[in-house]
Amino acid sequence: MIIISDRLLLNYKRCNRRTFLEIHGDASQQEPEKDFLVKLGRENRSHFRNVIQSRSLVPQKPQASRRDWQLNAQQTMELMHQGADCIIRGTLSVNYTQWQTALSEIALTPLPDIQSDFLAGIMFNGAPSLLIKQPGTSCFGDWQYITVNIKLGRKAKPEYKLIAAFHAYILGIVQSQTPERSLLILKEQNEHNVNLAHGLTTMQQTVGECLTMLASQQEPEVFISRQRCSLCRWYGYCHQVAKSTEHLSLVPGVTPKRYQYLQELGVNSVKSLVDVPETSLGEALGSDIARQLKQQINSLQSDRAVVRSSFDLVNTQPIPTGVIELYFDIEAEPERQTDYLLGVLLVDRTTNTEKFYAFLAERLEDEGKIWQEFLDFINLYPDAPIFHYSEYEADTIKRLARLYGTPKAQKQEVLSRLVDLHLWVNSSVIFPVESYSLKALANWIGFYWRETTGSGDQSVCWYDQWLNTQDRTLLQLILSYNEDDCRATRYLKDWLLDFLEYQRNHQLALTK
C-alpha cells in the first residue's frame, strides 16, 4: 500500500526526488532529523495551541493517534456524523476508486493511465489542522465541514493552497459535498480564504504527475540546491549520487534554469562542460556567464583559485586595511525576528593581536541593549574598517537602527565603514568549491571551526534551548561558533589581500 499524504505531496511540490525516495528509497540512507527541523516542529505546535486558545475553540478529537490512521479516519468520520463543531487531529482517507470516481463527477480530468495493480494499492490521506462545522448539506445532514490549516508562514504560499485543495477534495468525497473554500490561519493569526475553483484543477494535475513518477519506479535525477537541500534527511545520499556522477549542480553558477539550457546543448556532465566551446555556451547563456562557468570548471579540475577574468587587477584599489580592524558576524533567530548576538573580532595589526567581543542578548528583550553596546564599542575605533561576509550584516544594521531610533548620521557612518568580503569574492576570485559560503571558502584555504557540528541553524537551536533551560553551556557553544565565524572572516580577508597582491605583481611583471 502506498499512502499519498499531504506531507508527501508537499515534498513532491518542493522536490520530486524526495517524494520518490520516501516511497522507494532505502530508509537506512537517511540522516537523523536536523535539530532545526525539530525546533520548527515545536514552534508549529505552539502556534497551533495559540490559535485554538485565541479563538476559544473547544475541539473534539479522535481517540486513536494519527499513526493508526485507519482507526483515526474511522473515528473522525464518526465525529462528523455526530455533528462535532470542531475536530482536531483528524484524518480524512479515501481509496483510489473513490478519488477517480469523484474526479468524473466534478468534471476534472481523470488521473493518468497507470497500471491497475499499482493504483489498487493507493490511499489518499489528509490531515488538516481543523475540521470546522458549517451550515449546508452533506451526507451527515444539514451541515457540512470545511478544512482549516494553521501554518507558521506569513504568506499564503502556493504549496499551502495546494494542500488546502487536496484536503478539500478528500473532504468532498467523505461528506459527499465539496466545500467551496478552505481556510488558512498564518503567522500573525491572519486568515486567508482559499478559493478552490482553480486550486482543485492544479492539485489534481500535481497528484497525477506524482503518481506517474511513483509508478515508473525510475529515480528522478539528482539536483543539489544547497539552500533547499541542506535540511533534508536525504541530502547526504543525494550528494553522494551527485559526486559519483559529477553532476553539474555541484558546479557553482549552474542554476536549474541554466542546467536546462546546458542540457539542450548536450552538456550534462562536468566532462561535457569542459569540452563544449565557450562560444556555444555564450550563445545559450551569455558571454559573461559562459566565461565564468569555464573558469569555474577549470578551477575545480585544477583545485586552484584563479582571478576572475572580469576583474581589473591593476586598477582596482586593494581591500581596505587598518591599524585596527573589526570583523563582524551576527547570530539571529528569524522566527522571533531577533538578532541575539553581535560578535566582533578586534584585530590590532601593530601588535598582531586579536580579541573577541560578544554582545549577547541573554533575554529576547535585551536586543536593544546589545545594539547600543555594539554602537558604543565600534565608536571607540572610528577609523577601523568593519569586515563581514554577506549583505545580512548591513541589512541588520539598518533594521536595528530603524527599530531603536538610531540617528541617521550615526547609522550612515557605520554603514560607510562596512566591507563586504562576499562582494569582493564574487567580483575577484574563482574558488574550486561547490559553494561560496564562508565555511566552504574558509575550509578550502585552511581554516576550520572548533564546533564541528556548528552552523547558523544549529546556533538558532542552541539559543532556543538556552531560553528554555538557561544552560550556560549552550551560550558557550554559540559564542565559540560566532567567534570562529569572525576569525574565518579575518582569515579570508588576509588570504584575499595576499592572493590579489601576488597576482597583481605577477601581472605587472609580465607587462614589463
3 state SS for 456-470: HHHHHHHHHHHHHHC
Query: Domain-by-domain residue ranges, the chain?
Result: 2-216, 236-304, 324-510
Helix (H) or strand (E) holding 3: strand 2-5
b/e sequence 443-479, b meaning 16+ C-beta within 10 Å: eebebebebeebbbbbbbbbbbbbeeeeeeebbebbb
- Contact between residue 123 and residue 153 where contact means Cβ atoms under 8 Å apart: no
pLDDT digits (tens, 9 = 90+) for 353-383: 999 999 999 999 999 999 999 999 999 999 9
- Contact between residue 167 and residue 159 where contact means Cβ atoms under 8 Å apart: no
pLDDT value for 112? 65
- Contact between residue 256 and residue 264 where contact means Cβ atoms under 8 Å apart: no
**151 Rama sector, left if φ>0, alpha if ψ -120 to 50, beta otherwise:** beta
pLDDT value for 107? 54
Instruction: Domain 236-304: give its CATH code.
Output: 1.10.150.20
pLDDT value for 119? 80
Distance CA 91, CA 496 (A): 57
pLDDT value for 105? 64
> 233 is written with which cell numbers?
534527511
Phi, psi of 387 (to 5 degrees): -90, 140
> 152 is written with which cell numbers?
507558521
pLDDT value for 346? 98
> 318 is written with which cell numbers?
586593494
Distance CA 491, CA 487 (A): 6
pLDDT value for 100? 85
Helix pair 196-216, 16-24: axis angle to 10 deg:
50
Q: Would you say the CATH fold of 324-510 matches that of 236-304?
A: no
Residue 277 DSSP symbol = -
HSE-up of residue 192 (Cα within 13 Å, Cβ side): 19
pLDDT value for 106? 61
- Contact between residue 39 and residue 464 where contact means Cβ atoms under 8 Å apart: yes
> 130 is written with which cell numbers?
481543523
Distance CA 85, CA 104 (A): 31
Closest C-alpha among 420, 457, 226 to residue 327: 420
SS3 state of residue 2 = strand
Q: Please name the CATH architecture into which domain 324-510 falls.
A: 2-Layer Sandwich (3.30)
* pTM of structure: 0.86
Task: Report the 3 state secondary structure along 327-384.
Answer: EEEEEEECCCCEEEEEEEEEEECCCCEEEEEEEECCCHHHHHHHHHHHHHHHHCCCCC
Stretches in the chain below the pLDDT threshold 70: 104-113, 115
